[in-house]
């Protein structure tokens, strides 16, 4: 009994310190607020399986009020899991029903508000004016009314069922706010360039500021209306900086891991559930990512150049993982085509990570509905699209320099579609070709990768003999993705381990 009491006390400390860490971390990460307003018509035409177009309001509605970070990589996220709709005053609730509705017809409004509070609003609890549920939703309504997008656009002569330059939309917003707003649009085969959302950015005292990274573009997009005939069922890709709905905060994972390590049953996890932290939306396409091991291995501390494969290996085909579910013949091929390039780490660890982070999210797609099918499909795709041979057939060989456009052209001659090219940005191996990503629809037909533009930037396609002396002390290749700040949470776990031992 004493042991169970001690374990329970440790878990309570975990929750307390974890909550404080999340709040403190969010406060550090919060640079500004983003008021995201969405055009329901665009949403419903793209997500026709989720909503009824006839019932869609023909005014701009709130998507969310998000604490944001200028780096975009570390936006505060899921800081508090508590939401009580009773804390919203009745008059505020009536306004929310009109200006912040859930556009998914099979879900109620309260569910949408709860999600937005848990993921975003709770991360601003230290900011005056949005420090509780009532204030947060009241502030969002106040801002949406103050900057009424429907009226702002109409005043500038921007009406539905017409095409407009993004520059013109931003000018219309600037006429009212004095600052640059972020314009977001859909980018699909059935709805190319439909105005989707407009984001207005605010400082911590809610004065309008220029949205970071919002640039003017001389491109036409459509402001659709309900009667627009250019509508067919399709999936959407938002050409902007979407909120990440498939993100689990590292500390949340650690809390559950540590509690279960102490022997606590799932029922005793005090209501913490992974689904409270993870929101997986329907995906639109697959990204088959292949990496060049030589570029990966510029950091000799993590890998051994002499043991690196001299061919392109699988990075991933962007939860429980049981390697025994994979047929032995597939494992044999995976050991060759999908190795873990980090020394002293087994291949199974890499495969497990790829399944948990990516593969498990595609279980609704035919052909990759379980672990065996997922990895079998990846191996077959690697055989079908042998990057080294594709490049070599177009005279793109190791040890030489090529423009990104020429590499894309080489890939396109084989796949007939545009691939995404990534490269190392580390100081000692700058602009080394790193990954080539092939995009596929849900039937695994090759499609153009979204947001890929041709570039004359010159990349080196390195071979093992080109390894530079500086690379001996080089950081691993960076492609612009943040790895997060793991140091503090690990010290946090170490402290909890110590606490457990003395109780």
Provide the mean pLDDT of the chain.
74
3-state secondary structure 331-387: HHHHHHHCCCCCCCCCHHHHHHHHHHHCHHHHCCCCCCCCHHHHHHHHHHHHHHCCH
pTM, two decimals, is: 0.47
- Backbone φ and ψ for 377, nearest 5 degrees, come out as -65, -40
Give the range among 40-44, 148-152, 296-300 with minimum mean pLDDT: 296-300
- Backbone φ and ψ for 198, nearest 5 degrees, come out as -130, 130
Kindly state the helix (H) or strand (E) to which residue 96 belongs, with its residue range: helix 90-99
Strands annotated E in 39-155:
61-68
Per-residue pLDDT of 8-39, as tens digits, reads: 454 444 444 444 444 445 445 688 999 999 99
Within 10 Å of residue 71's Cβ, how many Cβ atoms?
11
Angular region, 21: left φ>0, alpha ψ -120 to 50, beta rest:
alpha
Domain ranges of the chain: 1-27+245-281, 31-223, 286-473
Give CA torsion, residues 321, 327, 329, 333, to 10 deg.
-30
Per-residue pLDDT of 258-279, as tens digits, reads: 444 444 333 333 333 333 333 3
309: tokens are 């494969």
Domain range 286-473, CATH class: alpha beta
Predicted confidence band of residue 405 (pLDDT cuts 50, 70, 90): very high
| Spatial separation of the C-alpha atoms in residues 459 and 407, rounded to whole Å | 9
pLDDT confidence of residue 198: 96
Q: How many residues does the chain have?
A: 503
Domains 31-223 and 286-473 share a fold: yes
Architecture of 31-223 per CATH?
Alpha-Beta Complex (3.90)
pLDDT confidence of residue 298: 64
């Amino acid at each position: 009994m004493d042991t169970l009491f001690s374990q329970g006390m440790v878990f309570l400390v975990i929750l307390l310190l974890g909550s404080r860490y999340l709040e403190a971390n969010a406060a550090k990460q919060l640079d500004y607020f983003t008021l995201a307003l969405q055009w329901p018509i665009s949403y419903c035409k793209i997500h026709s399986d989720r909503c009824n177009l006839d019932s869609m309001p023909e005014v701009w509605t709130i998507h969310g009020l998000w604490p944001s970070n200028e780096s975009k990589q570390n936006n505060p996220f899921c800081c508090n899991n508590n939401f009580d709709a009773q804390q919203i005053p009745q008059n505020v609730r009536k306004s929310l029903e009109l200006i912040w509705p859930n556009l998914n017809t099979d879900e109620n409004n309260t569910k949408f508000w709860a999600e937005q509070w848990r993921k975003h609003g709770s991360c601003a609890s230290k900011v005056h004016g949005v420090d509780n549920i009532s204030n947060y939703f009241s502030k969002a309504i106040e801002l949406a009314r103050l900057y009424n997008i429907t009226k702002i656009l109409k005043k500038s002569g921007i009406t539905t069922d017409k095409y407009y330059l993004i520059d013109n939309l931003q000018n219309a917003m600037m006429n009212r706010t004095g600052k640059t707003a972020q314009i977001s649009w859909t980018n699909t085969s059935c709805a190319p360039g439909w105005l989707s959302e407009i984001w207005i950015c605010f400082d911590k005292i809610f004065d309008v500021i220029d949205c970071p990274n919002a640039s003017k573009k001389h491109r036409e997009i459509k402001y659709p209306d309900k009667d627009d005939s250019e509508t067919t069922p399709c999936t959407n890709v938002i050409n902007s900086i979407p909120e990440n709905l498939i993100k689990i905060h590292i500390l949340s994972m650690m809390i559950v891991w540590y509690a279960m390590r102490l022997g606590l049953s799932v029922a005793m996890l005090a209501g913490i559930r992974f689904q409270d932290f993870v929101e997986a939306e329907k995906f639109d396409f697959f990204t088959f990512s292949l990496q060049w091991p030589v570029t990966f291995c510029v950091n000799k501390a993590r890998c051994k150049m002499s043991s690196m494969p001299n061919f392109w290996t699988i990075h991933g085909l962007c939860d429980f993982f049981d390697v025994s579910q994979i047929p032995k013949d597939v494992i044999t091929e995976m050991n060759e085509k999908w190795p873990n390039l980090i020394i002293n780490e087994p291949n199974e660890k890499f495969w497990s990570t790829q399944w948990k982070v990516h593969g498990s999210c595609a279980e609704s797609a035919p052909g990759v509905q379980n672990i065996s099918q997922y990895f079998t499909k990846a191996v077959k795709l690697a055989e079908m699209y042998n990057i080294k041979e594709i490049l070599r057939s177009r005279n793109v060989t190791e040890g030489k320099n090529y423009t990104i456009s020429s590499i894309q052209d080489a890939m396109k001659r084989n796949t007939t579609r545009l691939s995404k090219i990534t490269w190392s940005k580390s100081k000692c191996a700058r602009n080394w070709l790193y990954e080539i990503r092939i995009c596929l629809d849900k039937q695994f037909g090759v499609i153009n990768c979204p947001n890929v533009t041709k570039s004359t930037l010159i990349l080196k396609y390195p071979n093992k003999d080109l390894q530079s002396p500086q690379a001996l002390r080089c950081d691993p290749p960076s492609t612009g993705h943040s790895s997060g700040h793991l140091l503090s949470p690990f010290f946090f776990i170490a402290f909890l381990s110590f606490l457990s031992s003395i109780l």
